[in-house]
Amino acid sequence: MNVAFFFEVLIGGLLAGVMYSLVALGFVLIYKASGVFNFAQGAMVFLAALTFVSILKMGINFWLALIITLGVMVVLGMSIEKVVLRPLINQPPITLFMATIGLTFVLEGLSQLVWGSQPHGLELGIPDVPMEWLSQKWNINVSQFEVFAAVVAGAMVAGLALFFQYTRIGRALRAVADDHQAAMAVGIPLKHIWAIVWAVAGFVALVAGLMWGARNGVQFALTFIALKALPVLILGGFESVPGAIIGGLIIGASEKLAEVYIGPMVGGGIESWFAYVIALLFLLVRPQGLFGEKIIDRV
Amino acid sequence: MNQEQRVGEVILSVESVSLAFGGVKALQEVSFDVREHEIRAIIGPNGAGKSSMLNVINGVYHPQQGKIRLRADGAWREFRDMDSHEAASLGIARTFQNIALFKGMTVLDNVLTGRNLKMRVSFLEQAIWIGRAKREELEHRRAVEEIIDFLEIQHIRKTPVGKLPYGLQKRVELARALAAEPTLLLLDEPMAGMNLEEKQDMCRFVLDVNDHYGTTIVLIEHDMGVVMDISDRVVVLDYGRKIADGTPDEVRANQAVIDAYLGVAH
Amino acid sequence: MLYREAGQFKSTYAEDQQIFPIRQDRFAVALLLAVAFVAVPLFANQYWLSAILTPFLIFALAALGLNILTGYAGQLSLGTAAFMAVGAFMAYNFVLRMPWLGVIPSFILAGLCAAAVGIVFGLPSLRIKGFYLAVATLACQFFVLWAIQRIGWITNYSASGVITAQKIEILGYVFDTPVRKYVLTLAIVAVMALMAKNLMRSETGRAFMAVRDMDVAASVIGIPMMKTKLLAFAISSFYCGVAGALFAYTYLGTVEPEAFTLDLSFRILFMVIIGGVGSILGSFLGAAFITLLPIFLSVLFGGISHATGMEISHAVVSNMELIIFGGLIIFFLIVEPHGLARLWQIAKEKLRLWPFPH
């Protein structure tokens, strides 16, 4: 058993996990503030990436394109909140979830209608080559790009955690997540808050879109990344920002390790379902996830 | 028929039951008994543990200490860990403080679900709908229609429960509990939120159920007038402890009860 | 005022329990069945039979299965396609390895296999609810597809996992033309729909709905949680399994595992939502809607393209399809969560009084 190889797989898995966490963060934000499980997050990631790349292709400068795309995402987020979510305010969570499934289809169709459906490459200037000193010193190959993504994700998580904890708006968001009525009763403007949340989620989607797009190319398959975020959320809880990171790390690492070490024994391709089965087993033991709150049924 | 003739032996005995949720002590060493055919009221200020007591009796909550003894089918059963499904099969039925009806179904269907423990036919026979399945369904329909007549809800039998006013929903819930032909009926604030007329109707129904079917009834109620009028004996809880136990007159005159709950005797 | 319902009294409970208590409804249904079984095979063309009507019936059956689980019993499932796959591939295996069984018993056994898989993947529902359960069903969806592709004997060691459904022969009569396949499918679907209706209006159906509406209360009045939930998964998966077998044998002919992806699961879920959760009729309406919509759209765009002289590419049409599907889902959830079935009911109520306003 090659120890160096083990660490290579482990670190690769952890970094992949960080990428999942980026997407999961978007879910957590929206769920935290409005109690809606936004299945369309994956489609938003796709739309963000596709918009950005297409604007770039029109010859516009990188940073300007970034700002324009951010603007698009913010407007999109706020429109979704107004058109889809507000009419469904008092419906049970299942209904809202199914509405976001419908939204996914709309966004997917819209993205491709507007920007076309060929895959695009995305260059962020950071090569996908192994980090030299790790590779030479310990014979561990870890991609520079993945480390960069991890740093970006880490910075975002730290920023978001601070935002929720210490700013006035962050506090208001937490209040809204806990109890809409009570929040309104103390004067928190619900609609503004939701608009802000969806805007931030749009921003997170953009960052995730950029990272994933640079890694895998911007193509339709990106929308399925959202599905992988589900096991991450189950492990980490739907409402916890640190949980999204830890959940992502666990899922990413165990998925890669399983594929490499257990995969060959059963014919490979385990990655398609391993994360979900892990989440399933986890739910059986702890239905509320690592960081979630215990559900008590009162009669 | 006066009380001594109607009321029978003890059929339920709550012995030293203690229940806590984390640090909150809902019930502390509560003991009392219930006699067959009687109407027993549990009263007390909010948060005294009354609903928790009912939940313990029918197996929704499990007490950390103490036990429940129930006489079912002639034999005494003793338990602490019984689950609610078992309680139902032992002949305990109940209604809930916040109506627990199945909002997506009609009144008739809701009451029919109360009969589920008596239904024997397998799902395959139900799918084919001949012979036994058909007969059993019609037999239960007949039984349920009797209860619907009894509680005067014939005119709304096909209405989805979610569309009914609060008072009628409470009556439907009572019908569903009765459909199980229970020996012990637990009513959690059956008259909450009702106006005077609705309360009078509900009182009449509760008394009729006790009279006609002989069902033993334990009810939680805040309206003192109702409690004094219809119950045979009363248990008073305060902060999870029993502070009085006796006939309505005895309880009304009890100083501890007056201090905790009733205020100045009137 | 299209028909008068007044004057039709029920004097026994048996009469009241009928599926179609009103005389005119019974007549209408009899007429519909006559058209479906007799007129259609006589007059419909091949294209309609093999590309529209047969798949409509198959999807209606799958939607029915999903409706039983999600609409009546309230357990959200995203693994419908996986159960269909089990049905399809197991039917193939039964016919291949035990040809003496006959096609119909093979379909039934295939359905039972799907039911078994359903029970296994339904076990988590005893602890997990809501969209957590949806994730568990996703595990089922991905795992089953992977297993079918990896376990050699399921596909008879075919290199790409593709199988070819054998011809259907029942008691010497071969079902190989579109007309015969259509009639066979229709017969199977009609019988299963009737059984489902019977089931849903008896105690099983009530138990399912009780679990859906308030499972704690259901448990308190004596409805057994485990048995009820697992039965829901079993029956639902059986229906989806048979639908999958029909999918392979009377529609596709050549089947690959990729035909049963998550996309198909979503499509069937959409049929249930648009058609109406908790409604047998709704499953059919939803399936009809989703089967016909792509055709309607391509005709529409063909017309627009013709009229304006503009080229509208295939990609545009399929993207518009996505947008319209998604948009309709949202529209129905906002405006009429109980779908087309409820709209149909409302229409009938209004027609009772028309042309009077109330």
Q: What ipTM describes this predicted complex? A: 0.85
pLDDT tens for each residue of C249-277: 888 888 888 889 888 998 899 899 889 88
Tell me, yes or no, whether A204 lies in a domain.
yes
> What pLDDT does residue C195 have?
92
CB C326 to CB A103 under 8 A?
Answer: yes
Q: What range does the domain containing A155 cover?
A: 3-285
pTM score, whole prediction: 0.87
Tell me, yes or no, whether A73 lies in a domain.
yes
Closest by alpha carbon to A188, among A176, A197, A200, A178? A176
- Please identify every stretch of chain B with a pLDDT value under 70, giving residue numbers as ranges: 1-5, 263-266
Confidence of residue A133 (pLDDT cuts 50, 70, 90): low
Interface probe for C, chosen from A50, A276, A284, A285 (most Cβ of C below 10 Å), is: A276
Asked if residues B198 and B230 have their Cβ atoms less than 8 Å apart, the reply is no
The answer on pLDDT for C82 being more than 90 is: yes
Give the C-alpha separation, B49 to A206, whole Å.
52
CB C231 to CB B123 under 8 A?
Answer: yes
Three-state DSSP at C325 gives helix
To the nearest whole angstrom, how far is the Cα of C218 from the nearest Cα of chain A?
11
To the nearest whole angstrom, how far is the Cα of B159 from the nearest Cα of chain A?
22
Asked if residues B82 and B72 have their Cβ atoms less than 8 Å apart, the reply is no
Chain B: residue nearest C195 by CA? B127
Instruction: Compute the residue count for chain A.
Output: 299
Tell me, yes or no, whether C167 lies in a domain.
yes
Tell me, yes or no, whether C298 lies in a domain.
no
Closest by alpha carbon to A101, among B119, B199, C70? C70
> What pLDDT does residue B266 have?
43
Q: Which chains touch C (3 or more CB pairs under 8 A)?
A: A, B
Asked if residues C60 and C284 have their Cβ atoms less than 8 Å apart, the reply is yes
CB A98 to CB C262 under 8 A?
Answer: no
> What pLDDT does residue B48 have?
82
CA dihedral A257, A261, A265, A268 (to 10 degrees): 40
The answer on pLDDT for A164 being more than 80 is: no
To the nearest whole angstrom, how far is the Cα of B189 from the nearest Cα of chain A?
13
Tell me, yes or no, whether C120 lies in a domain.
yes
> What pLDDT does residue A153 have?
78
Domain CATH code at residue A248: 1.10.3470
To the nearest whole angstrom, how far is the Cα of A299 from the nearest Cα of chain B?
7
E-strand stretches of C155-303 = 163-164, 168-170, 173-175, 254-255
Which residues of chain B are within 8 Å of residue A299 when distances are taken between CB atoms? 55, 60, 96, 98, 100
DSSP C176-211: -SHHHHHHHHHHHHHHHHHHHHHHHTSHHHHHHHHH
Q: What range does the domain containing C78 cover?
A: 21-261
- Between A121 and A296, the more confident residue is A121
Interface probe for B, chosen from C68, C195, C221 (most Cβ of B below 10 Å), is: C221
DSSP B121-162: --HHHHHHT-THHHHHHHHHHHHHHHHHHHTT-GGGTTSBGG
Give the percent of chain A with pLDDT over 90.
0
C328 touches chain A (CB under 8 A): yes
CB nearest to C322's CB, from A105, A272, A297: A105
- Between C131 and C178, the more confident residue is C178
Give the C-alpha separation, C211 to B120, whole Å.
19
CATH number of B1-91+182-266: 3.40.50.300
> What pLDDT does residue A288 have?
65
- Between C44 and C106, the more confident residue is C106
CA dihedral B136, B137, B139, B144 (to 10 degrees): 140
pLDDT tens for each residue of A185-224: 888 887 777 777 777 888 888 888 887 777 777 776 666 7
Which residues of chain A are within 8 Å of residue B55 when distances are taken between CB atoms? 299
Phi/psi at B11 (5° precision): -115, -10
Tell me, yes or no, whether A57 lies in a domain.
yes
Tell me, yes or no, whether C216 lies in a domain.
yes
Q: What angle do CA A230, A236, A240 make, to 5 degrees?
A: 110
Domain count within chain C: 1
To the nearest whole angstrom, how far is the Cα of A293 from the nearest Cα of chain B?
15
Amino acid type, C175: F
C138 touches chain A (CB under 8 A): yes
> What pLDDT does residue B264 have?
56
Q: Using beta carbons and an 8 Å cutoff, which residues of A are at the interface with C? A: 37, 84, 87-88, 91, 93-95, 97-99, 101-110, 112-113, 116-117, 227, 230-231, 234, 266-267, 269-270, 272-273, 276-277, 279-280, 283-284, 287, 297, 299
Q: Any idea where the domains of chain B sit in the sequence?
A: 1-91+182-266, 101-180
> What pLDDT does residue C285 have?
93
> What pLDDT does residue C209 have?
93
Domain count within chain A: 1
To the nearest whole angstrom, how far is the Cα of A190 from the nearest Cα of chain B?
29
Which residues of chain B are within 8 Å of residue C199 when distances are taken between CB atoms? 123, 126-127
> What pLDDT does residue B218 have?
95
A-C Cβ pairs (cutoff 8 Å, strict): 124
